């Protein structure tokens, strides 16, 4: 009997699984808030050099649209520009950078980290750097918590990450300096990675095979709803400190109830903890109304499932690349996660660049996820994981590249293409969470997900920095963002299809599924993995 068959015997997608998924999905509402938070906390209002009480027209030169320049002022006041006839020209007058600070316009972004720490003009790169530092935290968290979860357990690490995200998120709201703000965001990103990875694994490992795509889509929709929630909360709380605090405090509640969640029985069995797994499975059976089936379970029967992975030479990280099939899976997953995150955050973190209302843009970018993730769920079940993954990436790349050819004044068309591209990338994320969990074996599944998460955060960390090449050519960032998913769409061809297959339990299972595998050749070389050597 397989573990999937055991879950079916104990109730399948029963009451326990429904409650478990709901408890894990609720925190996902606020993950989008943290990922996209700087769209609002780092919004850039209209600004110009301080005039020291002098008339604006005499102190600040204008641009081609007769608006005050943001980063320059006249060295000497140009009083003749105040002439009533308006024909005087001050373009030849000497200018200099803003030496006495800036004046900011009122409105939605009157109280952001940009206005508080003057992250404009020569210091504007600090805004992108702050987001990249947050992504660096997620990158390190994907490595660290992926490995720790395979050693210490999924639920234990998830509980810690809830606490860390709540505390450091709230601490960021009180940061007195930009340096401490960046440190708080880094630590929040560290914990966010742990929440994301362990939520995915716990759902995957407690849910029957036939329900995995549906549950993965439900989790994806929670992230989508979180984008709507962020727009609403940001509109109600325009001050960045209150917004930061509001999206962080609920993680204290998630920390408290996470103690009630049982550990993954798959992980316990794969690490030789049969007695703990037995207790958890009997609890599941009792909640699902299958108490008799649970009482009949014995440790020997669980040991006979053969889920325990023998000692891996070099550890779990080495296992990701030790054999041909694992190398193919690990490299393919790396391509998929990097390009999806890279292009996703390249679009999602530059909503101001499309020229429409910021809150409307956030709602549109969130709304497109609803049909996109539904279509991805249909595609995952009909054409398979590999086809859905490659198709979503290819469509996203085409949309982003097409946007690079649209003139800037066609704002509606540029936004439409960006929304379609972002929706395709959301579908790609939805596929990736499901597909990646099905590609790696139980003993190193979290490490494999951590690899994907690490590459995603490398992409997310690099994405805001690529914005800086717009100084060379305005369309260059979009060309780079669009090329990456198209290349990765081709990489998915080399990954095995996993539709309707049980989760692999050992590395040997992965090798047998490799597209080019030959059982008669591969099996002897994997004796160290299947316990027969």
Which one, of 260, 155, 238, 198, lies nearest residue 31 by Cα? Answer: 198
pLDDT reported for residue 445: 78
Confirm whether 517 is domain-assigned. no
Confirm whether 317 is domain-assigned. yes
Q: Are residues 277 and 411 in the same domain?
A: yes
Percent of the chain with pLDDT over 90: 14
Pairing mode, if any, of strands 72-74 and 47-49?
unpaired
pTM given for the model: 0.69
Q: Are residues 56 and 174 in the same domain?
A: no
Local confidence band at 8 (pLDDT 50, 70, 90 cut-offs): confident
Residue 432 clears pLDDT 90, i.e. is over it: no
Residue 509 clears pLDDT 70, i.e. is over it: yes
Q: Are residues 74 and 39 in the same domain?
A: no
Local confidence band at 310 (pLDDT 50, 70, 90 cut-offs): low
**For the packed helices 324-348 and 385-403, what is the interaxial angle rounded to 10 degrees?**
40
Domain that holds residue 195: 3-43+124-512
* HEC letters along 28-72: HHHHHHHHCCHHHHCCCCCEEECCCCCCHHHHCCECCCCCECCCE
Confirm whether 520 is domain-assigned. no
> How remote is the C-alpha of 420 from its chain's centroid?
18
The tokens for 309 are: 């992975």
The tokens for 195 are: 């929440």
pLDDT reported for residue 219: 81
Confirm whether 529 is domain-assigned. no
Instruction: Tell me the CATH number at 133.
Output: 1.20.1250.20
The tokens for 52 are: 């020291």
Q: Are residues 100 and 150 in the same domain?
A: no
Segment 67-112, tens digit of pLDDT: 888 888 888 888 877 775 554 555 677 888 888 888 888 877 888 8
Outline where 237-357 has alpha helix (H). Answer: 240-246, 250-258, 265-270, 274-287, 291-295, 299-303, 315-319, 324-348
**For the packed helices 476-491 and 445-466, what is the interaxial angle rounded to 10 degrees?**
160
Confirm whether 273 is domain-assigned. yes
Pairing mode, if any, of strands 72-74 and 95-97?
antiparallel
If one counts the domains in the chain, the total is 2
Give the C-alpha separation, 127 to 81, whole Å.
34
Mean pLDDT of 282-306: 79
Residue 520 clears pLDDT 50, i.e. is over it: no
Q: Mark residue 11 as left, alpha or beta (left: phi above 0; alpha: psi -120 to 50; beta: remaining).
A: left
Give the C-alpha separation, 320 to 449, whole Å.
11
Q: Are residues 74 and 38 in the same domain?
A: no
Confirm whether 119 is domain-assigned. no
pLDDT reported for residue 191: 92
Segment 224-276, tens digit of pLDDT: 788 788 888 888 888 999 999 999 999 999 999 999 998 988 888 877 788 88
Q: Are residues 458 and 486 in the same domain?
A: yes
Q: Are residues 76 and 140 in the same domain?
A: no
> In sequence order, what are the residues at sequence separation of 6 or more whose Cβ sits closer than 8 angstroms to the Cβ of residue 49?
59, 60, 71, 72, 73, 97, 98, 99, 100, 101, 102, 103
Mean pLDDT of 476-483: 86
Give the C-alpha separation, 524 to 506, whole Å.
15
Q: Are residues 83 and 159 in the same domain?
A: no
368 or 283, which is more confident?
283
Residue 518 clears pLDDT 50, i.e. is over it: no
Q: Are residues 285 and 206 in the same domain?
A: yes
Q: How far is CA 279 from CA 12, 299, 415, in A?
A: 17, 10, 53
Confirm whether 334 is domain-assigned. yes
Which one, of 204, 237, 198, 230, lies nearest residue 218 by Cα? Answer: 204
Mean pLDDT of 437-459: 80
- Compute the mean pLDDT over every residue in the chain, rounded to the nearest whole number: 81
Which one, of 341, 340, 348, lies nearest residue 419 by Cα? Answer: 348
Phi and psi at residue 161, in whole multiples of 5°? -65, -35
Residue 345 clears pLDDT 80, i.e. is over it: no
Which one, of 289, 244, 421, 431, lies nearest residue 342 by Cα? Answer: 421
Give the C-alpha separation, 506 to 90, whole Å.
74
Q: Are residues 12 and 52 in the same domain?
A: no
Q: Are residues 236 and 343 in the same domain?
A: yes
Phi and psi at residue 103, in whole multiples of 5°? -105, 135
Segment 161-214, tens digit of pLDDT: 999 999 999 999 999 999 999 999 999 999 998 898 888 888 878 888 777 778
Q: Are residues 356 and 291 in the same domain?
A: yes
Confirm whether 111 is domain-assigned. no
Answer whether 272's CB lies under 8 Å from 308's CB.
yes
Percent of the chain with pLDDT over 70: 89
Q: Find where tokens 């560290």 sit.
A: 190
């Amino acid at each position: 009997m397989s573990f999937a068959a055991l879950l079916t015997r104990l109730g399948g997608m029963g009451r326990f699984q429904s409650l478990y998924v709901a408890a894990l999905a609720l925190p996902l509402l606020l993950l989008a808030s943290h990922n996209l938070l700087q769209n609002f906390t780092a919004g850039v209002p209209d600004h110009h050099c301080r005039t020291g009480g002098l008339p604006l027209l005499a102190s600040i030169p204008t641009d081609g649209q007769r608006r005050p320049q943001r980063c320059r002022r006249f060295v000497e006041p140009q009083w003749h520009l105040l002439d009533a006839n308006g024909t005087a020209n001050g373009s030849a007058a000497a200018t200099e950078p803003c030496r006495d600070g800036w004046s900011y316009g009122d409105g939605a972004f009157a109280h952001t980290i940009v206005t508080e720490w003057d992250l404009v003009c020569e210091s504007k790169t600090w805004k992108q750097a702050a987001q990249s530092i947050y992504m660096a935290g997620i990158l390190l968290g994907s490595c660290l918590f992926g490995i720790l979860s395979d050693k210490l357990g999924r639920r234990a690490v998830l509980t810690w990450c809830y606490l860390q995200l709540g505390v450091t998120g709230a601490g960021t709201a009180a940061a007195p300096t930009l340096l401490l703000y960046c440190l708080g965001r880094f630590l929040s990103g560290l914990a966010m990675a742990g929440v994301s990875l362990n939520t995915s694994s716990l759902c995957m490992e407690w849910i029957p095979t036939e329900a995995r795509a549906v549950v993965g889509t439900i989790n994806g929709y929670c992230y989508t709803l979180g984008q709507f929630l962020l727009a609403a909360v940001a509109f109600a709380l325009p001050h960045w400190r209150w917004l930061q605090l509001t999206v962080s405090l609920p993680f204290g509640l998630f920390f408290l109830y996470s103690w009630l969640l049982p550990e993954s029985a798959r992980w316990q069995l794969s690490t030789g903890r049969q007695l703990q797994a037995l207790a958890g499975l009997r609890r599941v059976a009792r909640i699902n109304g299958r108490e008799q089936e649970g009482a009949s379970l014995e440790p020997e029967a669980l040991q006979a499932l053969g889920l325990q992975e023998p000692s891996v030479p070099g550890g779990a990280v080495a296992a990701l690349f030790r054999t041909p099939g694992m190398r193919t899976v690990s490299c393919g997953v790396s391509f998929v996660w990097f390009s999806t995150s890279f292009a996703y955050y390249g679009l999602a973190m530059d909503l101001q660049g499309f020229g429409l209302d910021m809150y409307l843009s956030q709602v549109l970018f969130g709304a497109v996820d609803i049909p996109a993730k539904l279509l991805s769920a249909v595609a995952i079940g009909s054409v398979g994981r590999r086809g859905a993954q490659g198709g979503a990436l290819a469509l996203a790349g085409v949309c982003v590249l097409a946007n690079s050819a649209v003139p800037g004044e066609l704002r509606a068309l540029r936004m439409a293409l960006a929304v379609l591209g972002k929706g395709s990338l959301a579908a790609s994320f939805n596929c990736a969470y499901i597909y990646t969990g099905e590609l790696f074996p139980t003993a190193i599944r979290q490490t494999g997900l951590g690899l994907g998460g690490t590459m995603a955060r490398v992409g997310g960390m690099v994405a805001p920095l690529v914005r800086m090449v717009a100084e060379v050519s305005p369309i260059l960032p979009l060309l780079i963002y669009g090329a990456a998913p198209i290349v990765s769409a081709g990489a998915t061809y080399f990954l095995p299809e996993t539709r309707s297959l049980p989760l692999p339990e050992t590395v040997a299972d992965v090798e047998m599924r490799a597209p080019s595998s030959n059982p008669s050749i591969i099996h002897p070389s994997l004796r160290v993995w299947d316990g027969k050597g």
